[in-house]
Amino acid sequence: MWPPISTRSTLAEALRGWPAPALDPGGPAAAAIATLSWVLLALTGLILAIVLAAIALALLGRPAWRAWLSGERLVWIGGVALPIVVLTGLLIYGLTTTGRLAAAGPPGEMRVRVTGEMWWWRVAYLDAAGREVIHDANEVHIPAGRPVTFELEAADVIHSFWVPRLAGKLDMIPGRRNVLRLQADAPGVYAGQCAEFCGGPHALMGFLVVAHPPAEFERWRAARLRPPAPPSDPLAARGAAVFAASGCGACHRIAGSAANGLAGPDLTFVGARRSLGAGILPNNQGTLAGWVADSQAIKPGNRMPPFRTFSGEELRALAAYLEGLR
């Protein structure tokens, strides 16, 4: 298989460079985990040093020291008491840290439902009553500096939601709803990746979390509550007709049009997304046309069949229409 482009557009953003993103926290959840990692590393390093020193002493030390080392008292202290104390302390520290991260936020906190699908992410923004009011895919917009509750679900197999700079991994399990509270301290784009092997193109299942300044986020949210205007450009209008006539709406929904399929990603604002194919390609008319005509060459095994029925002009019209949905 070709080197996954996701290593550049999502995974590389997510994993490249030093400090590694998991150790370069962009929010409190990731910061707690980064601290936990450093504490573990320091503690295990200290224990390793003690063990190595004991080995060196046992091999090379004076007879009196070696006799002391092999005494029953040291075995009880170093072999039983110390591990019990250290491991119990770490267990309590680790469980309280991760438990705090998994706790649901207070009522009224922004909630996003992300559902892992083979091999993309269904995203729904909930209102105060818990109704899904905005539908999107493969990109989550949040206000910076505020905690957001993520409800993580899975539609088919186990996936894992991982934004290294914002939090640890949390599995998405069919039939369960796992809760994760995330906060991005600063505006920016944070890359995420499915972290649990989920079949075929698992490695090509990326997404982005986009953190806006709060006022900008409110504008974004208000704009998303209304469907985009119908295309005025003649080519894009032709694309809308081709979309409707070709049955794309059986799998894809575009609010404000007759397309209401739920099997694939919601395309209401597909032109506004930063990436295509779940974080693996830049999003423009060219990649949109390529994806529609033959996504199997780009992301082998994905659920969208290739459409080899369009003329060149129809394909361009479709791409123009989709790019204009923003």
Partner 1 sequence: MGLKLGSSGAGAAVKRVTFLMSAGLAAAACDGGAVQPRALANAEPARGRATIEQVGCAACHHIPGVRGPKGRVGPPLEGFAERALIGGRVPNRPDLLALWVRDAPALVPGTGMPPMPLTEAESRDVAAYLYTLNAR
Cβ neighbours of residue 274 closer than 8 Å, sequence gap 6 or more: 139, 189, 208, 210, 283
| Nearest-approach distance from CB 153 to partner 1, in angstroms | 29
The number of beta carbons lying within 10 Å of the beta carbon of residue 314 is 20
In the shown chain, the binding pattern of residues 270 to 289 toward partner 1, with x for contact by CB under 8 A and - for none, equals ------x----xx-xxxxxx
CA-wise closest residue to 90 among 35, 50, 19: 35
The reply on whether position 193 binds partner 1 by CB under 8 A is no
For residue 322, the minimal CB distance to partner 1 (Å) is 10
Return the structure tokens found at 207.
């997404």
Query: Which CB sits closer to partner 1, 83 or 282?
Result: 282
Closer residue to partner 1 (CB): 281 or 325: 281
Rounded to a whole number of angstroms, the minimum distance from the CB of residue 290 to partner 1 is 3
Q: How many CB atoms lie within 10 A of CB 187?
A: 16
Q: Write the binding mask 215 to 234 for partner 1: x where contact by CB under 8 A, - elsewhere.
A: --------------------
290 binds partner 1 (CB under 8 A): yes
Q: Min. distance of Cβ 82 from partner 1 in angstroms?
A: 50
Q: Quote the least distance from Cβ 1 to partner 1, whole Å.
A: 9
Q: Which stretch binds partner 1 (CB under 8 A): 79-87, 132-140, 245-253, 306-314?
A: 306-314
How far, in Å, CA of 318 to CA of 10, rounded? 26
Region of 2-10, 168-176, 192-200, 214-222 interacting with partner 1 (CB under 8 A):
2-10
Partners of 123 in beta bridges: 114, 136
Out of 127, 297, 301, 326, the only residue in the binding site for partner 1 (CB under 8 A) is 297
> CB neighbours of 133 closer than 8 A, spacing ≥ 6?
124, 125, 126, 127, 225
Q: Which residues pair with 151 in a beta bridge?
A: 113, 179
| Total residues belonging to the chain | 326
From 114, 236, 278, 320, residue interacting with partner 1 (rule: CB under 8 A):
320
Containing 322, the helix (H) or strand (E) segment is helix 312-324
User: Is the CB of 156 or the CB of 313 nearer to partner 1?
Assistant: 313
Q: What angle do CA 81, 87, 91 make, to 5 degrees?
A: 145
- Residue 118 or residue 319: which is nearer to partner 1 going by CB? 319
CB of 176 to partner 1, least distance (A): 34
Q: Which string of b and e fits 85-117 if b means at least 16 CB within 10 Å? A: eeeeeeeeeeeebeeebeeebeeeebbbbbbbb
Work out whether 124 is an interface residue with partner 1 (CB under 8 A): no
Q: What is the closest distance, in whole angstroms, from the C-beta atom of residue 154 to partner 1 in the complex?
A: 26
Binding map of partner 1 across residues 59-78, x = CB under 8 A, - = no contact: --------------------
Q: Which one-letter DSSP state was computed for residue 174? A: B
Contacts of 118 (CB under 8 A, 6+ apart): 155, 156, 157, 198, 199, 200, 303
Single out the residue of 22, 163, 293, 304 in contact with partner 1 (rule: CB under 8 A).
Answer: 293
DSSP code for 253? B
Q: Which is nearer to partner 1, 8 or 219 (CB)?
A: 8
294 lies in the binding site for partner 1 (CB under 8 A): yes
Q: Minimum distance from CB of 274 to partner 1 (Å)?
A: 12
- Single out the residue of 307, 295, 321, 294 nearest to residue 119, CA to CA: 295
Establish if 10 lies at the interface with partner 1 (CB under 8 A).
Answer: no
Footprint on this chain of partner 1 (rule: CB under 8 A): 2-3, 5, 8, 276, 281-282, 284-291, 293-294, 297-299, 310-313, 315-316, 319-320
